[in-house]
């Protein structure tokens, strides 16, 4: 089960994309999915714990207070064109308690697969799902960018 979120305002979308271009990204650490070492995910990320106070404040201002009050971390994800992907994540599958992800698409043509259902998320729109659900992102011919929060509900 997932919930599609209303679109960000155009101002918030511009703010997030501007902020994204001004923070440092690092390549993925080894994050094992369903395919273990046979299919290691390829993406870059930037977490708010590594940003300035002003950058964190700017990021947080783009989300609802209800989400920010429950957020454990905020971050950007970047999936390089043709090579970037997220293997099917199953670490929290069937867990009695797991975080919730709120992810807003910052680029056109983003999609995510949740419990074997492909979901297109238009630029500026968001999706919410539990980490207990199987989820993955397939490679695409275009770069994919997301602004995300991990919530504890």
- Spans of all domains in the chain: 2-151
pLDDT, tens only, 118-142:
999 999 999 999 998 888 999 999 9
Across the chain, mean pLDDT equals 92
The DSSP code sequence of 61-107 is TTS-HHHHTTEEEEEEEEE-TTT-BEEEE-TTTT-SS--EEEEEE-S
Q: pTM of the predicted model, to two decimals?
A: 0.92
Structure tokens at 127: 């999706």
pLDDT, one tens digit per residue, over 42-82 is: 899 999 999 999 999 999 999 999 999 999 999 999 999 99
Q: What integer pLDDT is reported at residue 89 of this predicted model?
A: 81
Average pLDDT over residues 1-17: 96
In CATH, what number does 2-151 get?
Answer: 2.60.120.620
Whole-angstrom CA distances from 59 to 17, 44, 121, 123, 135 are 10, 18, 20, 17, 24
79 pairs with which residues across the strands? 144
Per-residue model confidence (pLDDT) at position 33: 67
* 143/77 Cα distance (integer angstroms): 10
- End-to-end CA gap in the chain: 15
User: Structure tokens of 114?
Assistant: 């949740």
- Biggest alpha carbon–alpha carbon distance for the chain: 41
Helix (H) or strand (E) holding 27: strand 26-27
What does the pLDDT average to over 104-112? Answer: 96
pLDDT reported for residue 153:
84
Q: How do strand 110-114 and strand 117-121 relate by DSSP bridges?
A: antiparallel
46's CB contacts (< 8 A; 6+ apart) are: 20, 23, 24, 25, 26, 75, 76, 78
């Amino acid at each position: 089960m997932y919930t599609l979120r209303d679109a960000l305002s155009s101002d918030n979308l511009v703010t997030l994309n501007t902020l994204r271009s001004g923070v440092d990204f690092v390549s993925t650490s080894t994050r094992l999915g369903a395919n273990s070492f046979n299919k290691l995910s390829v993406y870059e990320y930037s977490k708010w714990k590594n940003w300035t106070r002003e950058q964190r404040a700017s990021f947080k201002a783009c989300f609802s207070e209800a989400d920010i009050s429950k957020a454990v971390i905020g971050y950007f994800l970047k999936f390089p064109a043709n090579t970037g992907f997220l293997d099917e994540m199953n670490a929290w599958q069937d867990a009695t308690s797991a975080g919730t992800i709120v992810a807003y698409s910052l680029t056109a043509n983003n999609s995510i697969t949740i419990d074997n259902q492909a979901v297109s998320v238009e630029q500026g729109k968001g999706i919410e799902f539990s980490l207990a659900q199987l989820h993955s992102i397939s490679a695409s011919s275009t770069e994919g960018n997301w602004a995300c929060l991990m919530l504890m509900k």
